[in-house]
Chains A and B, each alone.
Chain A
Amino acid sequence: QPVLTQSSSASASLGSSVKLTCTLSSGHSTYTIAWHQQQSGRAPRFLLELEDSGNYNRGSGIPDRFSGSTSGSDRYLTISDLQSDDEADYFCEAWDSGVRSFGGGTRLTVL
């Protein structure tokens, strides 16, 4: 199944935009992935599902400040107009024939 690679940390200023990356392992560039947000001390929350075409579907109640895009094996999560409560860990998820995997997560700091 796919291995997902994420940078361990990222930072951006309040009100700006940030683009987080999740890279699929070789041979898995067509896979759909999901992005999840985990604020400190809280359970993860599903943000959006992102196809290799770049099409994405946000979860219920997720603001349109969260968007997805794709380039080859890279799957991106862009957060615009950063708010203080966007400071969190962001994980990507992939699946294949019932088996699931998660990336190591990116800790986003809002400056």
Chain B
Amino acid sequence: QLQLQESGPGLVKPSETLSLTCSVSGGSINTRGYYWGWIRQPPGEGLEWLGSIYYRGNTYYKSSLKGRLTLSVDTSKNQFSLKLKSMTATDAALYYCATQREDGSTLLWGQGTLVTVSS
């Protein structure tokens, strides 16, 4: 069955760039009709959608993150990635990758990876 697994550094310094990767197993990222997204959750808070990408590279970004956030997809590795520039303490959160139906709900979530921002 389809599974998603986030990977990346747990600690990032202020002003640096966060890079996370989501590995997809049990299915192909080249699936028509499905987007691959990132959602974060600060400790004790709610969910914030960051952006989503299609296997062909089409992207949607949260408006407040445009300019800081870049999503990419590597179909040869069955992975998709996030880069978030200029990290601050407010970016500290659990970061989840997920798969989403095009014009539909988020269907499956990764386990999440905790990112701390500290010097």
User: Which residues of A does B touch, CB under 8 Å?
Assistant: 32-34, 36, 43-46, 49, 59, 91, 93, 95, 97-105
Contacts and interface: CB of A to CB of B under 8 A. Distances in A.
A70 B112 CA distance: 31
B103 A103 contact: no
A98 B60 contact: yes
Interface of B: 35, 37, 39, 46-49, 52, 60, 62-63, 96, 100, 103-112
Contacts of A98: 35, 52, 60
Given A95-B103, A102-B47, A43 B111 contact: yes
A74 to B, nearest CB: 18
Contacts of B105: 32-34, 46, 49, 93, 95
B62 A99 contact: yes
- Where chain B touches its partner, the secondary structure class is strand
A34 B62 CA distance: 19
- Where chain A touches its partner, the secondary structure class is strand
B104 A95 contact: yes
Contacts of A34: 104-106
A91 B108 contact: no
Given A45-B109, A46-B106, A93-B106, A100 B46 contact: no
Given A45-B109, A101-B49, 7 more contacts: A32-B104, A49-B105, A100-B37, A100-B100, A100-B106, A102-B46, A102-B48
B99 to A, nearest CB: 10
B87 to A, nearest CB: 22
B44 to A, nearest CB: 10
Given A43-B111, A59-B107, A98-B60, A104 B46 contact: yes
Contacts of B39: 102
A49 B100 CA distance: 12
B60 A49 contact: no
B46 A46 contact: no
Contacts of B63: 99
B47 A105 contact: yes
A43 B109 contact: yes
